[in-house]
Structure 1
Amino acid sequence: MIPMTMPKKFTKENAHNFPISFILSTIYRQHTIYLKNTLKPYDVSVGEYPTIMKLFKEGKKTQHELAEAFHMTEGTIARTVRNLEDKNIITRKIDKNNRRQNFVYITEKGEKIASLIENFDSLWEEEVCGFLNKKQKNEIKEILYDITINSLNQNKK
């Protein structure tokens, strides 16, 4: 993979001249590259990562709930679920109360992988944000939370 080259004018002193979307996109892309390389030995793609972690942290979900959570189509989620099921990372079970609906669960293998992913993410965050103290990290996360909510609301208009 070719390393990303930053614009020459993107410096700490000039960062205010760049859109927030550029900065967030750069961070996201670098995290994606890290995850792609880190997850390769576990046969997990970057696209499957959010589904694994959601089920690991929150337990069973319907495919509809996953689609809503990730702002994706149910078809996209269905493909992800099928791929993860083929790898024995998740399993689907029919809802006893609604036979047209499946619940998606993480398997024991999936839990082991999710635990590793959680550790990898912590290491990445520490490497990238290690110069910040806990208060600064929390402030950034709160600001990014507000930006996230505003961006979701903007797209609903």
Structure 2
Amino acid sequence: MTKENNESDKFDTMPFIALIHHISKNRLRYTVKNPNRIDMIHEGRYLLAIHNNKNLSQDDLAATFGQSKGTIAKALRKLEDKKYVERKIDENNRRKYILNATKKGEELAILLKKELDEWEEKVGIDKLDENAKNQLRQIARKSEEIIEE
């Protein structure tokens, strides 16, 4: 549905935070269609984070995504079962697991990243200037700080 003749639509009156939620939700809906049938709400996001950050721990994932350790562990088990991720005990802290993508996981992460980049291009996120992106990052940081207070 496109806006014609300067008619108002639901997005004109939607609160800003609802716009962000709507975009995020539609991104997830789009990625559900991915041919790999990987859960992009949890597994896919975690795989991409592991791909982008070598030697990430389970605790790091929990902190990054605001998820419980149990939710992270469950998703990681699925990724391990599919041979996308390896968990190894940290040599410096035996209670901590370090995560790395397998070759199969790296290949999938590259494919998922490409699909997400294509979506961002289709909706125009790639056209946002760096200042706008940095402002959104700052808002995200501040929102997390306020919650932690």
Partner deviation per Cα, 1:108-156 (whole Å, 9 max, x = no partner)? 0000000001111111111110793xxx432321221122112112212
Equivalent residues of 1:60, 1:106 under 8 A apart: no
SS of 1:103's equivalent in the other structure is: strand
Specify whether residues 130 and 148 from structure 1 end up closer, same or farther in structure 2 by C-alpha distance, changes over 3 A only.
Answer: closer
User: Hey, what does 2:83 align to over in structure 1?
Assistant: 88
1:129 equivalent among 103, 120, 124: 124
1:74 shift after superposition = 0.7
How many residues get paired? Answer: 141
Separation in 1 of the partners of 2:92 and 2:137? 36
User: Hey, what does 2:30 align to over in structure 1?
Assistant: 34
1:18 shift after superposition = 2.6
State the superposition RMSD in angstroms.
Answer: 1.9
Q: Which has the higher contact order (CA 8 A, sep 6+)?
A: 2
Where do 1:1-157 residues align within 5 Å? 9-11=9-11, 15=12, 17-38=13-34, 41-46=35-40, 47-129=42-124, 132=127, 136-157=128-149
Q: In the alignment, residue 102 of structure 1 is paired with which amino acid?
A: Y
Moved more, 91-100 or 54-63: 91-100
Moved more, 93-102 or 83-92: 93-102
Q: In the alignment, residue 130 of structure 2 is paired with which amino acid?
A: N
TM-score for the superposition, normalised by structure 1:
0.81
SS of 1:80's equivalent in the other structure is: helix
User: Hey, what does 2:3 align to over in structure 1?
Assistant: none
Q: In the alignment, residue 36 of structure 2 is paired with which amino acid?
A: Y
Counting aligned pairs with the same residue, the percent is: 28
Unaligned runs of at least 5 residues, structure 1 = 1-7
Moved more, 63-72 or 80-89: 63-72
Q: In the alignment, residue 104 of structure 2 is paired with which amino acid?
A: K
Specify whether residues 72 and 44 from structure 1 end up closer, same or farther in structure 2 by C-alpha distance, changes over 3 A only.
Answer: same
1:60 shift after superposition = 1.6
Unaligned runs of at least 5 residues, structure 2 = 1-7
TM-score for the superposition, normalised by structure 2:
0.85
Moved more, 27-36 or 41-50: 41-50
SS of 2:71's equivalent in the other structure is: helix
SS of 1:42's equivalent in the other structure is: coil
Separation in 2 of the partners of 1:48 and 1:91? 13
